C-alpha cells in the first residue's frame, strides 16, 4: 500500500545523499517495475530510465534470462564463504573471465559488494604491497578534484568533491588532489593545445614536491562520472600514467562506470585510452546492478608480492563475508555472457555517436553551456551566460529543476549541481534517444521561461 510505504520511508529510511530539507512532501516515487530502458512507478506512470538506475543497469531492467539464472543459483546455493580453502564455481569462473577481459597481466581478482569497497580494497592492497617490499614510506595517494570514488571513509576521502566532505572527519592527510582535467573550465590564459601539458607539468611538480619515495598510487576514472562527466584533454591519461611509471607510482583505474559497454568497450583503459593500469576497479555494470557486486583486479606482479610468505602473520588479512558471493558472482558471469553474446558494445558504438550528436543540438538553447561525454555517458552543463560561462547560483538548483520538468514528461535524468547526466541502459535505441532529446528540449525551454519570470 502506497501510503504505508511513504509513511515508513519518511519515518525510518535515511536515503543516500539525503537532503533532509528538500524531502518531498508527497513522498518518494516508488519504483515498482522495469523493462529494458523503461521503469514504472507504483501508480503506473511510465518513464524512460535515462540513468540506468544509477549508471549501472547496463543490460536493461527485467531481463528474464538473468532473473532465471539468479533464481537457479539461489535454489542451488546462494552463499557460502570463500575463505581459506573454500570457493564457489561462480567466483572462480568470474575471476577467470575478468582476467581474460582486463588488459596486460591483470589476472587476480578480489571480490566485494560495490565500488567504494573495491576502491578501499585497492588502497589496502597498494599499502600492503609497498610494506612487503620494505617501502612503508610509500603511502601517499594522488587523486583529483571532482573525481568520485565512493562513500566509505577512505573512498570518500579519495573523492575530490570538497562540498561532500563537510561534516565528516575524513582520512585525507595522505591524499593530494590534482586539478580536474576540465577543458570547458580550463584556467584563463591556457589555450586548448597547451592545456594537457599544463596539467601534466602540475602533476610532476606535485610529485617532486611530495617526493616520489612517499607516493604509493594515482587513482583516476578514465572519464570522470559523478564529478560531471568530464572528459580530459586528448592524451592526458597516457601522459599521467607515463609519469607514474617514471616515479614508481602504481596506477588504479576506477572503471566502475566506464566498463561493461557504457563507452562501447568491455574495459576502456587499454582499448579506448591506451593505458595499462596496475589495478582495475569494477562494480555497477559488472552485475548490471541486479545484485551488489564489485571487484578489484591486480597484476600478477602485485599478486606475487602480496602473496609472499612472511614470518609474523601468514595472512593477507582483508576480506568480507560476501567476498566471492556465489549468487553475486553467478549474476556477474551471466551478465557478461549476455553483454557479449547480444552485442551490447556494438549497439553502443552504433548509437553512441548519434546520441551525442542529437544532444549537442541542445547547445543552441539559451542556458546549455556545454554538452559533453561519450557514447552512453553524457552530460549537459547549464550556465547563465554562455560567453562568461557563469554558473547559476546554487539556490536556483538548475539541474534539479530540469530533472523535475523531465520527470513530469516521463524521462528520468540525473541532477548533479549545475548539470544533468545521461547514462541509460545499453538497450537505449533510436526511439528512446529521440524521445529523450524532445523531452529535454521542452523541459529546458519551460525552465528558461520560469527563470525569466523569476528575474534570472
Ligand atoms: N567509483 C566510481 C567511478 C563511481 O561512480 C562510484 C559510484 O557511483 C563508486 C566508485 C562507488 O561505488 P558504490 O556506490 O558501488 O560504492
Q: Domain limits of the chain?
A: 2-59+343-454, 66-341
Going from the Cα of 16 to the center of ligand 1, the distance in angstroms, rounded, reads 13
Q: What is the pLDDT of residue 314?
A: 83
pTM of the complete model beyond 0.80: yes
| Confidence band, pLDDT 50/70/90 cuts, at residue 310 | confident
Q: Give the SS3 label for residue 102.
A: coil
pLDDT digits 0-9 by tens, 143-178 = 999 999 999 999 999 999 999 999 999 999 999 999
- The crossing angle, in degrees rounded to 10, of helices 326-341 and 89-101 is 40
Which atom of ligand 1 is the closest one to the Cα of 119? 10
Going from the Cα of 147 to the center of ligand 1, the distance in angstroms, rounded, reads 10
Q: Give the SS3 label for residue 362.
A: helix
Let me know if 454 is exposed, middle or buried by CB neighbors in 10 A (0-12, 13-18, 19+).
exposed
Q: What is the pLDDT of residue 23?
A: 61
pLDDT digits 0-9 by tens, 423-451 = 999 999 999 999 999 999 999 999 999 99
pLDDT digits 0-9 by tens, 5-49 = 988 988 899 999 888 776 665 678 999 999 999 999 998 999 999
Q: What is the pLDDT of residue 1?
A: 86
Q: How far is Cα 354 from Cα 351, in angstroms, rounded to an integer?
A: 5
Fold (topology level) of 66-341: 3.40.640
Let me know if 314 is exposed, middle or buried by CB neighbors in 10 A (0-12, 13-18, 19+).
exposed
Which atom of ligand 1 is the closest one to the Cα of 115? 12
Q: Could you tell me which residues come within 8 angstroms of residue 304 by beta carbon, excluding any fewer than 6 positions away? A: none
Tell me which of 15, 121, 150, 294 to substitute to probe ligand 1's pocket, judged by most ligand atoms within 8 Å of the beta carbon: 150
ipTM exceeds 0.85? yes
Going from the Cα of 225 to the center of ligand 1, the distance in angstroms, rounded, reads 9
Tell me which of 51, 115, 146 to substitute to probe ligand 1's pocket, judged by most ligand atoms within 8 Å of the beta carbon: 115
Going from the Cα of 310 to the center of ligand 1, the distance in angstroms, rounded, reads 34
Tell me which of 15, 149, 285 to substitute to probe ligand 1's pocket, judged by most ligand atoms within 8 Å of the beta carbon: 149
Which atom of ligand 1 is the closest one to the Cα of 114? 15
Q: What is the pLDDT of residue 58?
A: 98
* Residue of 275, 420, 436, 279 lying closest to 355 (CA atoms): 436
Q: What is the pLDDT of residue 282?
A: 98
pLDDT above 90 as % of the chain? 92
Residue 337 has pLDDT above 80, yes or no: yes
Residue 348 has pLDDT above 80, yes or no: yes
Going from the Cα of 447 to the center of ligand 1, the distance in angstroms, rounded, reads 30
Q: What is the pLDDT of residue 22?
A: 66
Going from the Cα of 448 to the center of ligand 1, the distance in angstroms, rounded, reads 32
Q: What is the pLDDT of residue 399?
A: 97
Task: Classify residue 49 by its DSSP letter.
Answer: E
pLDDT above 70 as % of the chain? 99
Q: What is the pLDDT of residue 315?
A: 87
Average pLDDT over residues 183-200: 97
Average pLDDT over residues 391-412: 96
Going from the Cα of 349 to the center of ligand 1, the distance in angstroms, rounded, reads 24
Going from the Cα of 117 to the center of ligand 1, the distance in angstroms, rounded, reads 9
Q: How far, CA to CA in Å, does 412 sit from each of 131, 347, 396, 409?
A: 47, 21, 20, 9
pLDDT digits 0-9 by tens, 84-140 = 899 999 999 999 999 999 999 999 999 999 999 999 999 999 999 999 999 999 999
Q: What is the pLDDT of residue 24?
A: 60
Q: What is the pLDDT of residue 455?
A: 84
Q: What is the pLDDT of residue 428?
A: 98
CB 241, CB 251: distance < 8 Å? yes
Question: Which value, in Å, is the radius of gyration of the alpha carbons in the chain?
Answer: 22
| Confidence band, pLDDT 50/70/90 cuts, at residue 456 | confident
Pairing relationship of beta strands 106-112 and 294-299 according to DSSP bridges: antiparallel
Going from the Cα of 398 to the center of ligand 1, the distance in angstroms, rounded, reads 24
Which atom of ligand 1 is the closest one to the Cα of 294? 15
Going from the Cα of 116 to the center of ligand 1, the distance in angstroms, rounded, reads 6
Which atom of ligand 1 is the closest one to the Cα of 54? 8
Tell me which of 114, 224, 260, 263 to substitute to probe ligand 1's pocket, judged by most ligand atoms within 8 Å of the beta carbon: 114
Q: What CATH architecture applies to the domain 2-59+343-454?
A: Alpha-Beta Complex (3.90)
Which residues approach ligand 1 with their CB closer than 6 A?
Answer: 114-116, 119, 148-150, 221, 225-226, 254, 256-257, 283
Amino acid at each position: 500500500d502506497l501510503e504505508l510505504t511513504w509513511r515508513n520511508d519518511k519515518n525510518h529510511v535515511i536515503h543516500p545523499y539525503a537532503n533532509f530539507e528538500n524531502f518531498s512532501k508527497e513522498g518518494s516515487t516508488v519504483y515498482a517495475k522495469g523493462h529494458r530502458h523503461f521503469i514504472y512507478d507504483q501508480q503506473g506512470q511510465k518513464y524512460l530510465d535515462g540513468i540506468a538506475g544509477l549508471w549501472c543497469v547496463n543490460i536493461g531492467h527485467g531481463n528474464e534470462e538473468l532473473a532465471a539464472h539468479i533464481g537457479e543459483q539461489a535454489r542451488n546455493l546462494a552463499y557460502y564463504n570463500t575463505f581459506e580453502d573454500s570457493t564457489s564455481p561462480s567466483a572462480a569462473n568470474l575471476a577467470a573471465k575478468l582476467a581474460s577481459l582486463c588488459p596486460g597481466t591483470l589476472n587476480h581478482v578480489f571480490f566485494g559488494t560495490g565500488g567504494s569497497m573495491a576502491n578501499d580494497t585497492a588502497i589496502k592492497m597498494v599499502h600492503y604491497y609497498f610494506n612487503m617490499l620494505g617501502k612503508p614510506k610509500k603511502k601517499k595517494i594522488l587523486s583529483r578534484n571532482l573525481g568520485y570514488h565512493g562513500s566509505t571513509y577512505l573512498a570518500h576521502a579519495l573523492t575530490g568533491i570538497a562540498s561532500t566532505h563537510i561534516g565528516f572527519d575524513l582520512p585525507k592527510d595522505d591524499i593530494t588532489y590534482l586539478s580536474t582535467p576540465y577543458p570547458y573550465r580550463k584556467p584563463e590564459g591556457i589555450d586548448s593545445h597547451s592545456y594537457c601539458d599544463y596539467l601534466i607539468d602540475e602533476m610532476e611538480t606535485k610529485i617532486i614536491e611530495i617526493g616520489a619515495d612517499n607516493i604509493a598510487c594515482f587513482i583516476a576514472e578514465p572519464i570522470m562520472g559523478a564529478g560531471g562527466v568530464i572528459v580530459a584533454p586528448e592524451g592526458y591519461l597516457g601522459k599521467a600514467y607515463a609519469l607514474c611509471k617514471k616515479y614508481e607510482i602504481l596506477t588504479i583505474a576506477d572503471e566502475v562506470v566506464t566498463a561493461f559497454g557504457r563507452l562501447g568497450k568491455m574495459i576502456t583503459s587499454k582499448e579506448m585510452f591506451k593505458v595499462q593500469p596496475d589495478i582495475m576497479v569494477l562494480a555497477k555494470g559488472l552485475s548490471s546492478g541486479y545484485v551488489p557486486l564489485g571487484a578489484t583486479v591486480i597484476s600478477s606482479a602485485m599478486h606475487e608480492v602480496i602473496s609472499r610468505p612472511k614470518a609474523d602473520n601468514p595472512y593477507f588479512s582483508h576480506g568480507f563475508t560476501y567476498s566471492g558471493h556465489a549468487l553475486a558472482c553467478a549474476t556477474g558471469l551471466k551478465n557478461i555472457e549476455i553483454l557479449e553474446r547480444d552485442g551490447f558494445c556494438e549497439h553502443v558504438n552504433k548509437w553512441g555517436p548519434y546520441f551525442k550528436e542529437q544532444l549537442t543540438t541542445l547547445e543552441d538553447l539559451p542556458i546549455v553551456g556545454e554538452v559533453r561525454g561519450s557514447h552512453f555517458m553524457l552530460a549537459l552543463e547549464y550556465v547563465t551566460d554562455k560567453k562568461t560561462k557563469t554558473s547559476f547560483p546554487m539556490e536556483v538548483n538548475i539541474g534539479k529543476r530540469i530533472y523535475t520538468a523531465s520527470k513530469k514528461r516521463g524521462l528520468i535524468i540525473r541532477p548533479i549541481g549545475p548539470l544533468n547526466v545521461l547514462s541509460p541502459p545499453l538497450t537505449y535505441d533510436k526511439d528512446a534517444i529521440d524521445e529523450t532529446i524532445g523531452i529535454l528540449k521542452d523541459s529546458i525551454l519551460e525552465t528558461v521561461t520560469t527563470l525569466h519570470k523569476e528575474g534570472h
